[in-house]
Amino acid sequence: MDETYHSRNGAISESKHVFIKQGIHRTQGNIHILEIGFGTGLNALLTAIESEKMQRKIKYHTLEPFPVPNHLITALNYGHWLKNSSMYDAIHDTNWENENALTDTFFLHKTTQKLEYIKLKDSCYDIVFFDAFAPKKQPDLWSEPIFSKLSQSLKKGGILTTYSAAGQLKRDLKACGFVLEHPSGANGKREMTVAIKP
Ligand SMILES: C[S@@+](CC[C@H](N)C(=O)[O-])C[C@H]1O[C@@H](n2cnc3c(N)ncnc32)[C@H](O)[C@@H]1O
């Protein structure tokens, strides 16, 4: 797709801002997260670290139809940069298609199913980390039917957080009944989107 997995201006700082600060920190207690796009496992690693720090149980269901090859995962080495190599390895070594307890607080379920086809439970998740490739690269994923499906899978008051604040995204989310907030984005980006299910 000729696309990067992360912001070129700082992958870790963007993930921390969009998904931890504007996602997890808006919630309380034990939560269930759905991630669109497991990719390098960076968001999963940051979430695992956060769950331990806050002593909150987090179930993390993540979709990745095109797993990143192992040699690239090793070369990226986010475990080193985030000082938690054992968790980084565990996140990548753990089985696909099952939920596995990686610690007392972090439960990971990776699946290779695509968002378009996966059957999601209604009112199941507290947060959706919407981290698909950019709208111009994957327009089918940034569409009203997909956001409607995600809204149905969220609990009341649940949130969808994403790095994008594109005009069409805002219109599609509003059409699905979400209430939108646009905090400033990461690394000097003007805005991002947090969509709240009323
Ligand atoms: C921006 S990257 C995700 C980065 C990731 N969250 C991380 O922490 O490294 C987008 C991911 O979405 C995945 N993807 C592509 N098509 C998809 C689909 N139809 N359903 C779910 N995920 C998809 C891509 O393979 C890619 O890994």
Residue at 25 is within a domain: yes
Spell out which residues line ligand 1, taking CB within 6 angstroms: 5, 36-43, 63-66, 114-116, 131-133, 141
Alpha carbon 24 to its chain's center:
10
Q: Is residue 2 part of a domain?
A: no
- Residues paired with residue 39 on neighbouring β-strands, in sequence order: none
The strand pairing partners of 100, in sequence order, are: 108
Pocket mutation for ligand 1, best pick of 1, 4, 50, 63 (most atoms within 8 Å of C-beta): 63
Neighbours of 114 (CB within 10 A): 14
Residue 6: the pLDDT is 85
HSE-CB of 33 using CA atoms within 13 angstroms: 34
Contact (CB, 8 A) for 65 and 113:
yes
| Gap between the Cα atoms of 163 and 179, Å rounded | 16
Tally the domains of the chain: 1
The number of the ligand 1 atom at minimal distance from the alpha carbon of 43 is: 8
Residue 6 maps to a domain:
no
> How buried is 172 (Cβ within 10 angstroms: 0-12 exposed, 13-18 middle, 19+ buried)?
buried
Please provide the average confidence, as pLDDT, over all residues in the chain.
97
Residue 188 forms part of a structural domain: yes
Encoded amino acid at 27, one letter: T
The answer, yes or no, to whether residue 75 has pLDDT greater than 90, is yes
pLDDT at 2 over 90: no
Nearest-CA residue for ligand 1 atom 17 is 114
* Ligand 1: nearest atom to the Cα of 138: 16
Query: Which among 7, 47, 64 is the best mutation to test ligand 1's pocket, defined by most ligand atoms within 8 Å of the CB?
Result: 64
What average pLDDT does the segment 11-36 reach? 98
> Is residue 27 situated within a structural domain?
yes
Residue 3 domain flag: no
Instruction: Return the ligand 1 atom nearest residue 42 CA.
Output: 8
The residue-averaged pLDDT of 78-103 equals 97
Structural domain contains residue 137 = yes
Domain residues for the domain of 160 are: 11-196
Is the distance from CB of 180 to CB of 170 less than 8 angstroms? yes
What is the model's pLDDT at position 155? 98
104 located within any domain? yes
Residue appearing with tokens 């985030």: 82
pLDDT tens digits for range 105-131: 999 999 999 999 999 999 999 999 999
- CATH number of the domain where residue 120 is located: 3.40.50.150
**pLDDT, mean of residues 177-183:** 98
